[in-house]
Amino acid sequence: MNLQYLRKHQRVLGLITLIGLTFSGGSLGATPESAFRFSGEEFYYSIRLNGAEAIRVGVRAGDVQYRKGVPYVPIAGTAQSTGLFDTVYPINDKANSFVNPDSFHPLRSEKYFDENGETREYKVDFSHKAFSAKVEKNKDDLSRKFSMAIPGTTHDMISWFYELRTMDDFTVGREVSFYVYDGWKLSHIHGKVTAKEDVLTPVGWFKAWRIDMTRDVMNSRSQRNKTPKLHVRNKNQSRATVWVSRDANRLPIKIAIDTPLGKGEAVLIKLKLASKN
Closest CA to 134 of 73, 222, 232, 61: 222
* pLDDT at position 219 over 90: yes
Q: Span 43-49, mean pLDDT?
A: 93
> In this structure, are residues 44 and 58 in contact, taking their beta carbons and an 8 Å threshold?
yes
Average pLDDT, the chain: 87
**Predicted local confidence at residue 21, as pLDDT:** 53
Mapping DSSP onto H, E and C, the string for the chain reads CCHHHHHHCHHHHHHHHHHHHHHCCCCCCCCCCCCCCCCCCEEEEEEEECCEEEEEEEEEECCCEEECCEEEEEEEEEEEECHHHHHHCCEEEEEEEEECCCCCCEEEEEEEEEECCEEEEEEEEEEHHHCEEEEEEEECCEEEEEEEECCCCCECCCHHHHHHHHCCCCCCCCEEEEEEECCCCEEEEEEEEEEEEEEEECCEEEEEEEEEEEEEEEEEEEECCEEEEEEEEEEEEEEEEEEEECCCCCCEEEEEEEECCEEEEEEEEEEECCCCC
Residue-wise pLDDT for 128-151, tens only, equals 999 999 999 998 889 999 999 999
Q: How confident is the model at residue 212 (pLDDT cuts 50, 70, 90)?
A: very high
Q: How confident is the model at residue 197 (pLDDT cuts 50, 70, 90)?
A: very high
Q: What are phi and psi of 64, to 5 degrees?
A: -65, 130
Q: What is the pTM of this model?
A: 0.85
Q: Span 18-22, mean pLDDT?
A: 52
Higher local confidence (pLDDT), 162 or 260: 162
**Predicted local confidence at residue 99, as pLDDT:** 96
Q: Span 185-211, mean pLDDT?
A: 96
**Predicted local confidence at residue 217, as pLDDT:** 95
Q: Span 92-107, mean pLDDT?
A: 95
Cα distances from 177 to residues 130, 165, 251, in angstroms, run: 21, 13, 19
What residues pair up with 34 in beta bridges, in sequence order?
none
Cα distances from 238 to residues 15, 127, 234, 241, 257, in angstroms, run: 10, 27, 9, 11, 8
